[in-house]
Chains A and B, each alone.
Chain A
Amino acid sequence: MPAGRRGPAAQSARRPPPLLPLLLLCVLGAPRAGSGAHTAVISPQDPTLLIGSSLQATCSVHGDPPGATAEGLYWTLNGRRLPPELSRVLNTSTLALALANLNGSRQQSGDNLVCHARDGSILAGSCLYVGLPPEKPFNISCWSKNMKDLTCRWTPGAHGETFLHTNYSLKYKLRWYGQDNTCEEYHTVGPHSCHIPKDLALFTPYEIWVEATNRLGSARSDVLTLDILDVVTTDPPPDVHVSRVGGLEDQLSVRWVSPPALKDFLFQAKYQIRYRVEDSVDWKVVDDVSNQTSCRLAGLKPGTVYFVQVRCNPFGIYGSKKAGIWSEWSHPTAASTPRSERPGPGGGACEPRGGEPSSGPVRRELKQFLGWLKKHAYCSNLSFRLYDQWRAWMQKSHKTRNQDEGILPSGRRGTARGPAR
């Protein structure tokens, strides 16, 4: 990892750098026509400072002819000339600079502090690194996809912005034995994440933490302890199909398949469904669709396109007591409810007429009534299915009546209300 290294000193050649090439490469000295060769040195070179601190720097000129003067020299910081009142001539060859209350570095490669000759040519440069030490990373969360790997995400300290390049290293080890390991695949699901692809043990806890390091210091997160089996997620349920329920205009049937990657593992599955109208951003969520692979959505608007998604939580793998981790949502699947046959305002009425069963609230009440009936009356074969059948029958007979207008007197409508039992 590049950060944490203290700078250029670590990279020097094994033998001392040859002087002549250094001079050739030294861009601190600019030979100018008719004026001799002046070079300068800025001190300190490449300092690291806390935000809000002060800096005292000097630019010392030397060259040919000797006795090069500091008069006329000036400073720029990131290309902007610094006010003269911040500088003072220390002696004939040295110009000093005093900067107070430094702001965080503008770029991670360092702020460019440059000493210029009177004619604007560059005599010397130094890069300032102004920032903050890292704060303790927190909020580590991890999940395992099908028990094969582990991905962790964290939040980088209280504010995140240190103005310095900060290196984050995710470490992990088996709790009771083993050495520290370092995660190597970073930024897999965002800037502060890491992926451990293999060689993970089950049924034994891991300790996981994050170390943050920059030029000003380091910080370590709290240790998260987990068993891979407690943080398992899986792929979204495949093969999600949404279809109409016969002619029922307010219902859609959703079917899906249990995630195949976990088919050999003992687990309980929870599912969630969410759906929305085509041109809406508001999802409605159906919770507690437990361990079944189909569901019927009711109370929908007729003649409307709905988008539906399903996700799975494979909790209880190998007896794990933890809640499990929800998968991503499946790709949206769309279907439309049948258009209503009843004319009404706006065409394709979504609102029912008086006397007809309405959508949500009435349906809920009916469900409660049917539940009560089952308990207190001897109507064991009462069910929502029967109610739906009746509704389908009602709609069919509405259609027939509209087609054969006037054949059936309105008084006979009540007897056509439901199928004979």
Chain B
Amino acid sequence: MTQREGSLEAPQADSSVSLLPHLEAKIRQTHSLAHLLTKYAEQLLQEYVQLQGDPFGLPGFSPPRLPVAGLSAPAPSHAGLPVHERLRLDAAALAALPPLLDVVRRRQAELNPRAPRLLRRLEDAARQARALGAAVEAVLAALGAVNRGPRAEPPAAAAAAAAAAASGVFPAKVLGLRVCGLYREWLSRTEGDLGQLLPGGPA
């Protein structure tokens, strides 16, 4: 559609695009989902650090933020990209997260077997990341944006994460913290990016 293509070619006009009602409803719905899941991700992170024991929950705790294979944190330049590019990166990250969350859940099932709530939250997080990723892809498709960007390779990411998990309990705890942190960051990022598509501009 000409209007949608116009909005994609002119990033500055993002917020002024008059979206079709059903598309706007879809974006609003996806934005609400992202907002809700961001809250859940906060709760997951809090529960995770509590169960790993100090220093994980302490304010000054700062393990090295090394990149996780197959997934990195949103770059500082992310906010300056066109909205469709940002959403593509969001969708790619959301697709890479589930296998990593599964690895963390399996490890936590050994380390904290009597923590059913944490295990359930990790399982739910993987499902929710998939659902939100699919919703963002649907928004992109509705906007006429073709996914051109490089995609993460989830199997490789999961294998690498599993290998790291095998190397020791402390690194596995840190890896889980990193994955939960990335999950929260990408959800928050997705919420912000979708918010920019809504009439009225960014939240």
Instruction: Mark the stretch among A17-25, A272-280, A301-309 that contacts chain B.
Output: A17-25
Interface centre among B67, B162, B170 (most CB of A within 10 A): B170
Contact string against A for B residues 6-19, beta-carbon threshold 8 Å, 1 for contact and 0 otherwise = 00000000000000
B182 interface hit (Cβ, 8 Å): no
Contact between A11 and B106, CB atoms less than 8 A apart: yes
Q: Find B173's partner among A22, A28, A108, A109 (CB 8 Å cutoff).
A: A109
Contacts of A11 in B (CB 8 A): 106-107, 110, 162, 165-166
Q: A11-B162, A21-B163, A21-B164 are in contact. Are A27 and B169 (CB under 8 A)?
A: no
A7 interface hit (Cβ, 8 Å): yes
B187 interface hit (Cβ, 8 Å): no
Contact between A109 and B167, CB atoms less than 8 A apart: no
Contacts of A132 in B (CB 8 A): none
CB-CB nearest in chain A for B66: A27
B80 interface hit (Cβ, 8 Å): no
- Distance, CA A13 to CA B68, complexed state (A): 18
Contacts of B171 in A (CB 8 A): 25-28, 125
Give the total of B residues in contact with A, Cβ under 8 Å: 42
B56 interface hit (Cβ, 8 Å): yes
What is the CB-to-nearest-CB distance from A102 to chain B, in angstroms, rounded to a whole number? 15
Q: Find B66's partner among A18, A25, A114, A121 (CB 8 Å cutoff).
A: A25
Contact string against B for A residues 1-23, beta-carbon threshold 8 Å, 1 for contact and 0 otherwise = 11101011101110001100110
Contact between A24 and B160, CB atoms less than 8 A apart: yes
What is the CB-to-nearest-CB distance from A416 to chain B, in angstroms, rounded to a whole number? 72
- Distance, CA A402 to CA B166, complexed state (A): 91
Contacts of A27 in B (CB 8 A): 63-64, 66, 171, 174-175, 178
What is the CB-to-nearest-CB distance from B68 to chain A, in angstroms, rounded to a whole number? 7
CB-CB nearest in chain B for A76: B55
A127 interface hit (Cβ, 8 Å): yes
A157 interface hit (Cβ, 8 Å): no
Contact string against A for B residues 150-174, beta-carbon threshold 8 Å, 1 for contact and 0 otherwise = 0000001001111111111111111
Contacts of A109 in B (CB 8 A): 51-53, 111-112, 169, 173
Contact between B55 and A21, CB atoms less than 8 A apart: no
Contact between B109 and A2, CB atoms less than 8 A apart: yes
The 30 sampled A-B contact pairs (Cβ below 8 Å) are A2-B109, A8-B107, A8-B165, A11-B110, A12-B162, A13-B162, A22-B163, A24-B69, A24-B160, A25-B66, A25-B68, A25-B160, A25-B171, A26-B171, A27-B64, A45-B168, A46-B170, A78-B54, A106-B54, A108-B114, A109-B52, A110-B111, A110-B169, A112-B173, A122-B63, A125-B170, A125-B171, A126-B169, A127-B168, A127-B173
Contacts A22-B164, A109-B111 known; 17 new A-B pairs at CB < 8 A? A5-B110, A9-B166, A11-B162, A13-B162, A21-B156, A21-B159, A25-B69, A76-B55, A79-B58, A107-B52, A107-B53, A109-B53, A109-B173, A112-B52, A112-B54, A113-B170, A125-B174
**Closest 3 interchain pairs by CB?**
A125-B170, A17-B163, A79-B54
